[in-house]
Chain A
């Protein structure tokens, strides 16, 4: 498995390598990688389904259980087949969709990179691996939504999607860490085999669900998905309908059998899922862009699958997995077909599309089959899966919550049928409802734009066979797998066993005889047709691509930025006395706390002086420092401070620290020189104290902080508990580091890492100075440019007036 993921990584890099140069080979090369993956998965399938689970480990920090750890169980195989199979088809389709463009290398690279990350999610066994691949899909999705990087809409949609799914990813990380601690393992399979319980586990599960809801665009985080339709259509088909948005469902499907009964899991899953199901259905009815209608439909159906997989009973889990397959097939088909229509007719606006059934007969057939599967009309896979879902919901054994789920799903399904018919008729209808001259004029686009709508079949150019190949294969699968329900059902049962062993006996049937699910299905279809028929007139004139949730999100985002500006304005006042005051008080408080918490009686045996010379020296040092306080001029203060530093250097020398003394002398000298250079450019005298910090406050702060620091220094030197390392250093200096000056050897060898850190800080400070100077120079040049004109004007105009 790791070589396969590496192949995705290599293909990602190879495809990105040409940069902005044309790379027609990139998409076929990229498509080869998921194709190989698909082949490998097929070859592994029989052994995996018989319980032989291959796994792979790449250790990173084994002590913490960190690393990439993968495990190919039945469900991983199933999802892997969907991800790599649809991935291959979408990339082949893209070669026809995009034609000649210069940035196809980037597209191909991102697509194959995404495919690798998605495989990582479905195969992950390590909790950390799961999170890492999860975030990788968020990042590739961000880059793909913003693929048309010159469009502001695409950029803001990409940012919105990234922030929402990224924050969800952080919640997921927190949840996974908590679960890992609770379960005492970082392996997903071990965690699910011995699920922990309790309050912390409930909190962790809520966090995991928050991550899953953002990724799978569940209410109230659903709004990023319609925005993500700013991505090119093949990308939307692959990421935002068939695969990536399933990542949340994958996690829920894996967790639900073990955790569904813990805490608020079922309540959350059912409420968010049903809300998305109904809301998405309603919003899909209110779109005129076929792609956006499909996107809202995706939100709706993700909600449906969220309920099924989240309930966690064997029946619903099995039905949910069947729906995953059915949905991936028909939704990818529909997106790709909308791409074909868009390409051939030049628009996706359902008000302008007419008569395509005759112009594009193959595409029309594909759309009809996929729509039938979406609306759960026999004999498609969608019908078979939904029958199973209704059957399972009728018999959840969960009481009220099961009934709520059933009622909600029946209601949502009516909407599904209604919007499916609306989209299919809108795309293909010969006399599409709503397309009249008056409506077009009222919509603001004018009759001229409307008359360009390709009503004439001969005006629509037929797409190439390669272009239609991918949707054709997928639509055929929707139909064939529906008819072959029995063997498919058997295979799905083998797959689902890895989620819940109790699903082993489950099966799919195309015809089960007249029973409650069939009656419900018939009712849903009838009600759906009716609701479509009665809303045709009403939905003609609405076009509401932006939702309230988007507006709320945008407002929250704007106020966050405004808040950040305010916090910066308050915390970064630019007042030097304030900064220094905050630093001093913080340091003083920290040291005082440490001093009070420790044993204060340590400061008892104070060594007052080691030699008689020290007394006058220290007195002089202190005197010079005190004299600084009396200085009115900056210059005097700087010189006095330097004098105090020199005295201190002599004290070091007396104590037998020549290295320290040399450094102190040099630093003191340079400091004074630099001080003087700066003072030459400042006012001669100090500013008077600002009103918020009068002199007495400064004195109190200085004295208290100074005494605390002195006390801390005395206290720490008196309370040594461990052996001094000094003797070891002295003994090791010559043999280990080849130096006789132990101070220097400590700096460059024993504690060399510290020195490296210190000089890094120094380097950063130096770079900061250089950049400040450069920024000032740039500003100066800009100002000069504008000033220069002004100066010319000012010096030019009077003389002209004069002459």
Chain B
């Protein structure tokens, strides 16, 4: 299997990563939400999700990143905006900047559910970290494309020249033969 940049890729790795991706995504979200009470958190969660994206890139090449159709700058902006919004929200209520609010629900069957506003802050961090790593990745993809384009152009030049030589020589001989 070969990527657009002409390097060989392992099908086994690609299939493994395909299977692994949902697990990694679920784990990253789990890490982020778990962080409030146990080791984890938005930064770690974001890094795991970013690692999943990078893995897909390594397994399937630039297509893996391009097919996501997400502009990293949007992720970066959204993450930062969410975190800042969570911070300023309490001010409207006369609270302090970044003051936590704790909401408790009692949905049926599950029992008590607790939601803390700082979890939203962590989600912002998570999204932002994914965005930043993706931005770096996109930089590499662009570099790959550039190399590929340059190679293609060189290839075209060479084949054009070769084609000219190939078609030119018989041309002259043919005309000579006709004469």
Contacts and interface: CB of A to CB of B under 8 A. Distances in A.
A753 B97 contact: yes
Contact of B116 (A677, A681, A737, A747): A737
B39 A659 contact: yes
Contact of A670 (B54, B143, B157, B160): B54
A770 interface: yes
B98 A752 contact: yes
Contact of B80 (A667, A748, A759, A803): A759
A795 B100 contact: no
Contacts of A662: 39-40, 44
B142 A773 contact: yes
B30 interface: no
A673 interface: yes
B115 to A, nearest CB: 9
A772 B164 contact: no
B36 A747 contact: no
A758 to B, nearest CB: 9
B34 to A, nearest CB: 8
B133 interface: yes
Interface in B114-164: 114, 116, 118-119, 121-122, 124-125, 128-129, 131-133, 135-140, 142-143, 146, 149, 153, 156-157, 160-161, 164
B83 A756 contact: yes
A158 to B, nearest CB: 35
A760 B47 contact: no
Interface string A762-775: 11011101101100
B51 A756 contact: no
B160 to A, nearest CB: 5
B100 to A, nearest CB: 5
Sorting the interface of chain B by its residue count into under 10, 10 to 19, 20 to 34 or 35 or more gives 35 or more
B36 A744 contact: yes
Contact of B79 (A663, A678, A759): A759
Contacts of A677: 137, 140
A606 interface: no
A658 interface: yes
Contact of B43 (A663, A673, A777, A780): A663
A741 interface: yes
Nearest to B144: A681
Among the interface residues A743, A753, A769, which one has the most CB atoms of the partner chain B within 10 A? A769
A743 B35 CA distance: 9
Contacts of A762: 128-129, 132
Given A659-B40, A670-B47, A738-B100, A763 B76 contact: yes
Contacts of B23: none
B61 interface: no
A664 to B, nearest CB: 10
Contacts of B128: 759, 762-763, 766
Contact of B100 (A736, A772, A780): A736
Contacts of A798: 161, 164
Contacts of B174: none
B22 interface: no
B146 A780 contact: yes
Nearest to A780: B146
Interface string A732-752: 000011111101110111001
A-B pairs with the 9 shortest C-beta distances?
A: A766-B132, A739-B36, A752-B98, A666-B47, A748-B118, A658-B39, A738-B102, A740-B37, A738-B116
29 contacts: A659-B39, A659-B44, A667-B47, A670-B50, A670-B51, A677-B140, A737-B116, A737-B118, A738-B102, A739-B116, A741-B37, A741-B40, A743-B39, A743-B41, A744-B36, A744-B40, A745-B118, A753-B98, A759-B79, A763-B131, A766-B72, A766-B76, A769-B136, A773-B138, A773-B142, A776-B142, A791-B157, A798-B161, A803-B168
Interface of A: 658-659, 662-663, 666-667, 669-670, 673-674, 677-678, 681, 736-741, 743-745, 747-749, 752-753, 755-756, 759-760, 762-763, 765-767, 769-770, 772-773, 776-777, 780, 784, 791, 794-795, 798-799, 802-803
Given A744-B40, A759-B128, A795-B160, 12 more contacts: A662-B39, A741-B39, A744-B122, A748-B121, A749-B118, A759-B79, A760-B80, A763-B76, A770-B72, A773-B135, A795-B161, A803-B168
Interface of B: 35-44, 47-48, 50-51, 54, 58, 72-73, 76-77, 79-80, 83-84, 87, 97-98, 100, 102, 114, 116, 118-119, 121-122, 124-125, 128-129, 131-133, 135-140, 142-143, 146, 149, 153, 156-157, 160-161, 164, 168, 171
